[in-house]
Structure 1
Amino acid sequence: MRLMPRSLRSRLVLLFAAGTLAALVLCLSLLFVALDRELRTSVDDDLSSRGDDLVAALRDGDLSAVTSDPYAQLYNADGTVMAGSASLAGQRLLQPAEVRAIRGMVSSSRTLPLGPEGHAADVRLRSRVVGSGDVLTVALPYGVVEQASSRQMLVIVAAVPLLAAVLAGLGWTLVRAALRPVDVLTREAAAISTLENGRRLPAVAGDDEIARLAATLDAMLARLAVAFAREREFVDDASHELRTPVAVLRGEIELALSEDDPAEVRRSLLAAQDQVDRLARLTEDLLLLARERDGSLAVHREPVDLADLAAAEARALGPAMGLAITVRGEPVVVEADPDRLRQVFANLAANSAAAGAATVAVRIGMERTAVRLEWADDGPGFPPDVLASAFERFVRGTSSRASGAGLGLSIVRAVMIAHGGSAGIRNEGGGVVTVRLPMN
C-alpha cells in the first residue's frame, strides 16, 4: 500500500499541510496556555487588590468593609469568624484548622457551595495574616474564567482545521505556480524525439533553481546535438573512406576472375592486396580512436629514451617518406609505450610528406613538468581553416596535410592523451606539431 502520493506537487502540499497543522497546533496551544495564565493572574491580582483595601480598612477599625465585600471573611487566630460578607450566609471560606495553618499570604482554589441555591462553585481564595494573628480571606468565583478558557479552546479547535485548510490551499496554489515551468519543460522534453530538428527547451524567466535547471538542460541538449552531428559526420566520412577501397577491391577481384592471363590475374590480386592493407590500416585507426574515446586505449609503459627513439625513427622513416629528418635534443627518458610513439612518428612523417615538405626538424626539450617534442617541417603550413580542428577525425582542409583518410593527427592526439600528455599545432614557416609527455 502506497502511503505517499506519486505526484511531487501532492507530496509537497501534503508535507506543507502536515507541517502547517503541527505549527498551528503548537502555536495555538501556547497561545491558549498564555491566555489562560493571564486570566488566572488577573483573578489573583483582583484578590490582592481587594485584600489590600480590606487590610487598610481593618487597620482603621472598620469591620463594615469586610461585611460589604462580596466574598470576604475575617477570622481570629483560633479560626472563629469575626466578620464576613452577608452573601456567604453562614458559609465558611476556610475551616478552623486551615485558618490556624495560614502563615503570611496563601492562595488556593476549591469548590464551595456558594452558587445559587447552594450549588457548588469554583472559587479562588487569597488569605493573609493581619494584625496580631487574625486572618483575612477574600474569594472570587472564577467560573467565568473557566467558561472563558472553554470558549477559547472551542475557538482554537474550530480555527485549527479551518486555518490548515486555507494554508493548504494557498500552499497548493504556490507549489502549482512554482512547478508549472517543470511541467512545461517535461512536455517539451517529451516532444523532442530527435536532435536533428533543432528544438530546444523553453527558457524559464528568473534566476532561480528551476531557471538554472532549464538553462543547464538546454545547454546539454545543445552539446548532445553537436556530438550527434559530429558522430553522424564521422559515420558519413568513415563510410565514404571505406567505400572507395571496397569498390576497388571488388573491381580487381572481378577483373581477376574474368582474366585468363596469369600475369593479369597476379596484377589484379596484388592491387586487391593493397586495398586490403588500406582497409586494415583504416580499421585499426578507427579502432584506436574508438578506444581512446571510451578511455580503453592501452599503453604499455616502459623507460624510453625519446631522443634515441626519434633518431631511430628518423633513419627509418626519412628514406621511406622522402624526407630529410634531423633530430636535436639531449637524451631524456620517459615512461611511455614505444610502439605507440613509433605510430606517432609515422603519422607525423606521413602528414609532412602529404603536405609536400622536404625537410623536418625534430626538437626535444625539457619543461617544468613535461618533455616537449616539436615536429617542424618546411611545408606550406596548416591551412587557416583547419588550425582549430586539425586533430578532429577526417579533417583535411582545403589543401590536405592529413595522412591517409585524415586520421593521422587524430591518432597523434589520442596516443598523447592516453599517455597523459597533449598535442598542439601552429604555423611557423611550415607546420609545427608539438606533443608533450609527462615527466617520470
Structure 2
Amino acid sequence: MVPRSVRARTTLAACASVAVVLLAASAVVLLLLRLNLERTVETVARDQARAVARLAAAGRLTPQLPLRPGTDFIQVVDARGRVVAQSQNLTGRPALTPTGAHNRHRTYNLDALGQKHHQRVTTVTTITPAGPVIVHVGASLRTADAAEDLTTAALTALSALLLFTVGALTWRTTGRALRPVEAIRAEVAAISDRGLDRRVPAPRGDDEIARLADTMNAMLERLEAAGARQRRFIADASHELRSPLAVLRTQLEVALTHPDPEVRNALVAGALEDTERLQALSADLLLLARLDATGQSRPDEAVDLTELVRTTVTARSTDPHPVALHTPCDITVPGNALWLGRLLTNLLDNAQRHAHRTVTVRLTADPATGDAVLDIANDGPPIASAYREKIFERFTRLDDARSRDDGGTGLGLPIALDIATLHGGTITVEDTPDGTTFRTRLTTSTRG
C-alpha cells in the first residue's frame, strides 16, 4: 500500500533508491573480492604445482612432498593412474579423477580425501624420465569464504545503518521542508469569503515554497480586490436604481390621482423616459456581468474595424454634433464585432455629450507595432489629469447633474475599457489643442 503523505512517500522513495544502489554496490564489491581472493589462492596453488613439476621433470620427485603455506594437498599421478607422490595428509588415498567442469576449471570429488570445505585444484602435466605425470595441487578457499562472509555481514550491517540514517534524515528534512506548506494549507483552509484580508505566512528565502506563498498572497489580494469591487458595484447599482425607481413611482402615483389629463400625459411621458433610462442601465449592467464572466478569453473573430467605424459613424446621423471621419487605411483585428461596436458607440456617446461643436474620429495603424489606433476627439472642456483614471470607474460622473440630465449612467467608459482590455487593448485620455482625445489601441493579431 502506497503511503498517502508526501513525507512518507519521499522517505520511502529515498530509502528504496539508496537500497538499490547499496545492493548493486555490495554485489560488485563481493564479486571483486571473491575474484581477487580466488585469483590469489589459484596463484599459490599454481606456483606449488609448477615447483613439483620441475622436481618431477628433473627426476628428483620424492614419495612424500612438503606443503607450502596456503596449499592443502599435493598428488602426482602417472599415465596409468597410479599415485607417484603425494603430500603426507593424502597417504593411502586414491588418485583424483575429474567429475566435470565449472567456470572453466575442472572439478574433482574430494569427499574421499576428507576435504569438506571449498578447494581450488590446479593441475599441471609434465614429462619425467619415467613418463608423463599429472600434478594436482589443492588450495583451500577457507580464507576466501571467511573473508566473503565477514564482508557480507559488514556490508549488511553498514547498509542497514545507512538506510536507517537516510530514512531518518529524509523524514526529518522533508518534514521541515513541508512545514511551511502545511502552514499555508492551514491558513488557506481557515480563510472564508469574509476573511479575504488574511494572508498566508511567507517563509524567508526565494525557493519554491516562498514563491508559492507569494503566489497565494497575490491571489488572495486579487480575490479581495474582486470582492471589494463586487460589493462596491452592487452598492453603486442599488443606489443608481433606487433614484430612478423612486422618481418613476412618484410620477406614476401622481399621474394616477391627478385630475388634469395634460398633467397625467406629461407625467406618463416622464415615466417612460425614466423607464428607458432604467432599461439602458439594466442592459449596461448585464453587459458588464457578461464581460466579467468572460475573463481572459479573447474573442478571435476577424473584424473589419475600418468598415465597422464607418458604418457606426454613418448610422448616427441624428447626433447633435457633426463627426469628422478619417479612415485612410483598411484594418482588420481579431475580436467580437458586437462588442467592438459597443466600445465605439460608448466613446462616441461620451464625445457627443461633452463636445461644444464637433467630434473627430480617426483610425490609423501604428507604423512601429502595426496596432490599430482609434482616436475619438471632442472640442469640449479638458479632463484634469487627476480624473483620467477615475472616469473609467463604474458609476463615476465628473458632472453628476448634467450627466443625469443627458441620460448618462456612469457605465459607458468602464464598459468601453473592459471591452478594450478583453481584446488585449488599452484606452487612454490625452489633451489636444482643441479639446480631449480618447485613444484606443487594439492589436491586429492574437497574442498569447
TM-score, L = length of structure 1: 0.81
Aligned pairs (5 A) from 1:293-332? 293-295=292-294, 305-306=307-308, 308-309=310-311, 311-313=313-315, 315-317=317-319, 319=320, 323-330=321-328, 332=330
- Equivalent residue for 1:384? 385
Candidates 124, 127, 134, aligned match of 2:123: 127
Q: In the alignment, does 2:23 pair up with 1:18? A: no
- 1:107 is displaced (CA, Å) by 5.4
Candidates 392, 402, 409, aligned match of 1:405: 409
Candidates 34, 38, 41, aligned match of 2:39: 41
Aligned pairs (5 A) from 1:243-262? 243-262=242-261
- Equivalent residue for 1:67? 65
- Equivalent residue for 2:440? 435
- Equivalent residue for 2:25? 27
Candidates 91, 94, 97, aligned match of 2:93: 91
* SS of alignment partner, residue 25 of structure 1: helix
Q: What is the alpha-carbon distance in structure 2 between the residues aligned to residue 367 and residue 123 of structure 1?
A: 93
Q: What is the alpha-carbon distance in structure 2 between the residues aligned to residue 30 and residue 18 of structure 1?
A: 18
Aligned pairs (5 A) from 1:216-231? 216-231=215-230
Gaps of 5+ in 1: none
Aligned pairs (5 A) from 1:48-59? 48-58=46-56
In 2 relative to 1, CA 195–398 (structure 1 residues): closer, same or farther, beyond 3 Å?
Answer: farther
Aligned pairs (5 A) from 1:343-422? 343-355=342-354, 357-367=356-366, 369=370, 371-388=372-389, 390-396=391-397, 404-416=408-420
- 1:343 is displaced (CA, Å) by 4.5
Q: Over aligned residue pairs, what C-alpha RMSD do you find?
A: 3.9
Retained in 2: the 8 A contact 1:366–1:372? yes
Q: What is the alpha-carbon distance in structure 2 between the residues aligned to residue 179 and residue 38 of structure 1?
A: 48
- 1:32 is displaced (CA, Å) by 2.7
Q: Which amino acid aligns with 1:89?
A: T
- 1:201 is displaced (CA, Å) by 1.5
Aligned residues: 426
Output one character per residue of 1:286-324: Cα deviation in whole Å (capped at 9) or x when no partner.
11222223339999968973564355245321x2xxx34
* SS of alignment partner, residue 96 of structure 2: coil
Gaps of 5+ in 2: none
Q: What is the alpha-carbon distance in structure 2 between the residues aligned to residue 188 and residue 74 of structure 1?
A: 88
- 1:413 is displaced (CA, Å) by 3.7
- 1:214 is displaced (CA, Å) by 1.9
Q: What is the alpha-carbon distance in structure 2 between the residues aligned to residue 330 and residue 292 of structure 1?
A: 31
Retained in 1: the 8 A contact 2:10–2:174? yes
Stretch deviating more after TM superposition (333-342 or 30-39): 333-342
Output one character per residue of 1:37-86: Cα deviation in whole Å (capped at 9) or x when no partner.
33222221221232344345555654359611252122333333222111
Q: What is the alpha-carbon distance in structure 1 between the residues aligned to residue 12 and residue 123 of structure 2?
A: 54
Retained in 2: the 8 A contact 1:66–1:74? no
Q: What is the alpha-carbon distance in structure 1 between the residues aligned to residue 127 and residue 390 of structure 2?
A: 110
In 2 relative to 1, CA 83–306 (structure 1 residues): closer, same or farther, beyond 3 Å?
Answer: closer
- Equivalent residue for 1:81? 83
Q: Which amino acid aligns with 2:125?
A: V
* SS of alignment partner, residue 207 of structure 1: coil
Q: What is the alpha-carbon distance in structure 2 between the residues aligned to residue 29 and residue 188 of structure 1?
A: 50
Retained in 2: the 8 A contact 1:75–1:82? yes
Q: Which amino acid aligns with 1:268?
A: L
Q: What is the alpha-carbon distance in structure 2 between the residues aligned to residue 306 and residue 365 of structure 1?
A: 14
Retained in 2: the 8 A contact 1:344–1:411? yes
Output one character per residue of 1:274-297: Cα deviation in whole Å (capped at 9) or x when no partner.
221111001111112222233399
TM-score, L = length of structure 2: 0.79
Output one character per residue of 1:342-401: Cα deviation in whole Å (capped at 9) or x when no partner.
644543343234445432222233456555432111223232123345444334458999
Q: Which amino acid aligns with 1:220?
A: M
Q: What is the alpha-carbon distance in structure 2 between the residues aligned to residue 359 and residue 204 of structure 1?
A: 59
- Percent of residue pairs bearing the same amino acid type: 30
